[in-house]
Amino acid sequence: MNLRKIKEGKAEIFIPDPKDYEKQGKFDPSWAPVFYNPKMVFNRDLSVIAVSVISPKKIVDALSASGIRGIRYQIESSSSSEVIFNDKNPRSVDLIKKNVEINDIHDATITNKDANSILFEIISDFVDIDPFGSPSPFILSSINATKNNGYVAYTATDLSPLEGRAVKSCKRKYDVQNIKLSFSKEIGIRVLISKIIREASILEKTAIPVLSFYHDYYYRIFMKVMRGARKADENLENLGYAIECDKCGFSSITKEMISKCPICGNNLKIVSRIWTGQLNDQDFLVKINERLANFKYLANYTNIQNLISKLIIENKYVTNYINLEFVASRYRTNVPSRSKMIECLSDATETHFDPKGIKTNKNFDEIIECIKKIN
Ligand SMILES: C[S@@+](CC[C@H](N)C(=O)[O-])C[C@H]1O[C@@H](n2cnc3c(N)ncnc32)[C@H](O)[C@@H]1O
């Protein structure tokens, strides 16, 4: 395997030379014998800051590929941590060994196992699950490996099931009855959180999201894991429904199951069961914000700063997500600009999920009034 040296954050690593795996001038990271995706640098940059907030003593990078995450976590987030690198691909493991060595990573263990096997053998205060597609096959084992008050992070790139376009796949992988709604970009991450909480409860544990966001073509979530059957029971009460009326445009995220639209009486479209709580922990976001100044060297520094500022405001709004294009079409009016709607409602903000979306604490009548007034 011919190697190429690249720099990401403060790490320098070898990756398979992409040139050798091009097909008709194109290259996909999955065509190389060891996976490295430059499109995920934003994910890793923000994860480096989040892990610095957690400051774990022991990190498990359960699906390591080139080892880039675990290496960056030790160099940039938490220099005193022990890191366990794992990948079931033996060629990955050979490359991780090389990359760990050239980056002077101390306290590293490198294993060549199925992630589910190692995650049932160890216990750690931070576990990273960064799979191809859905993290579902690794949720139970990763929660098992996370100690009380520890953290686990998941990347999910399977947006079709999560956003309700592949309904059967969503039922299979997440056990959620999904359907495409006008605000499915946010529902997707709530489906994933619901699955994590339901899996955790099997182990008499529970989890709450401290950082969750959508970027480019994936979701990324950091969850805090807590032990206790009672805590698990209580948190299951926070699962509920996303509802939407195709006729008048009313929508909500709610713990109560209702089947008829409270505005016009039409039958509602329903997604069941999803997380209905906050997507981020305000303190965790503020801590990330406070640390940002230490990470000015990151390639995505400005974009991360923008996202965190948005999440801090967005986190104050849970229930009403309005897709302006969808609602305006129900009233046959022009789509109002986001800024004018936010000004009119006065208690509203942009959502990072969607350039057409706003979040507000105002009720549906006030939203419609603003749409009509702006027109
Ligand atoms: C998306 S890549 C990981 C990328 C890496 N975390 C990064 O940030 O560059 C997924 C990796 O998981 C490995 N993998 C897939 N299934 C696995 C399993 N059941 N156990 C362990 N490793 C697995 C693959 O070999 C691949 O290297």
Task: Report the distance separating Cα 268 and Cα 146, nearest Å.
Answer: 39
Q: What is the DSSP letter of 15?
A: E
Taking phi over 0 as left and psi of -120 to 50 as alpha, with beta for the rest, 203 belongs to alpha
CA distances for 195 relative to 35, 198, 229, 279, angstroms: 27, 5, 17, 14
Whose CA is closest to atom 10 on ligand 1? 131
Task: Report the distance separating Cα 125 and Cα 138, nearest Å.
Answer: 16
**Ligand 1 site, residue 163, Cβ cutoff 6 A:** no
Q: Which mutation among 35, 40, 68, 77 tests ligand 1's pocket best, with the greatest number of atoms within 8 A of CB?
A: 35
Nearest Cα neighbor of 86 from 112, 107, 59, 68 is: 112
Tokens 């979306």 sit on residue:
357
Which residues of 245-356 form beta strands (DSSP E)?
A: 251-254, 269-275, 320-323, 348-350
Give the list of residues 6+ apart from residue 5 with CB closer than 8 angstroms, or none.
12, 13, 14
CA 30–ligand 1 middle distance (angstroms): 10
**Ligand 1 site, residue 89, Cβ cutoff 6 A:** yes
State what percent of residues in the chain have pLDDT above 90.
97
CB count within 10 Å of CB 295 equals: 20
Q: What is the DSSP letter of 267?
A: B
221: three-class secondary structure by DSSP: strand
Q: What is the ipTM of this complex?
A: 0.99
Task: Tell me whether residue 115 is annotated as binding.
Answer: yes
**Ligand 1 site, residue 47, Cβ cutoff 6 A:** no
Q: How confident is the model at residue 318 (pLDDT cuts 50, 70, 90)?
A: confident
pLDDT in tens, 197-230: 999 999 999 999 999 999 999 999 999 999 999 9
Task: Report the distance separating Cα 237 and Cα 16, nearest Å.
Answer: 47
CA count, 13 A, side-chain hemisphere, 222: 23
CA distances for 303 relative to 113, 215, 309, 310, 312, angstroms: 36, 11, 10, 11, 14
Q: What is the mean pLDDT of the chain?
A: 96
Instruction: Say whether pLDDT at 257 is over 80.
Output: yes
Structure tokens belonging to residue 4: 């190429």
**Ligand 1 site, residue 92, Cβ cutoff 6 A:** yes
State what percent of residues in the chain have pLDDT above 70.
100
pLDDT in tens, 234-253: 999 999 999 999 999 999 99
- By the 8 A CB rule, do 172 and 203 touch? no
173: three-class secondary structure by DSSP: helix
Instruction: Say whether pLDDT at 319 is over 80.
Output: no
Instruction: Say whether pLDDT at 72 is over 90.
Output: yes
pLDDT in tens, 151-169: 999 999 999 999 999 999 9
Average pLDDT over residues 293-305: 97
Task: Tell me whether residue 261 is annotated as binding.
Answer: yes
Q: How much is the pLDDT for 197?
A: 98
**Ligand 1 site, residue 45, Cβ cutoff 6 A:** no
Which residues of the chain form beta strands (DSSP E)?
A: 3-8, 11-16, 58-61, 82-86, 108-111, 124-129, 146-156, 205-215, 218-227, 239-244, 251-254, 269-275, 320-323, 348-350, 357-360
Domains annotated for the chain, with CATH where assigned, are 3-237 (3.40.50.150)
CA 222–ligand 1 middle distance (angstroms): 18
Whose CA is closest to atom 19 on ligand 1? 114
Amino acid at site 233: D
**Ligand 1 site, residue 65, Cβ cutoff 6 A:** yes
**Ligand 1 site, residue 63, Cβ cutoff 6 A:** yes
Task: Report the distance separating Cα 370 and Cα 236, nearest Å.
Answer: 36
Amino acid at site 314: E
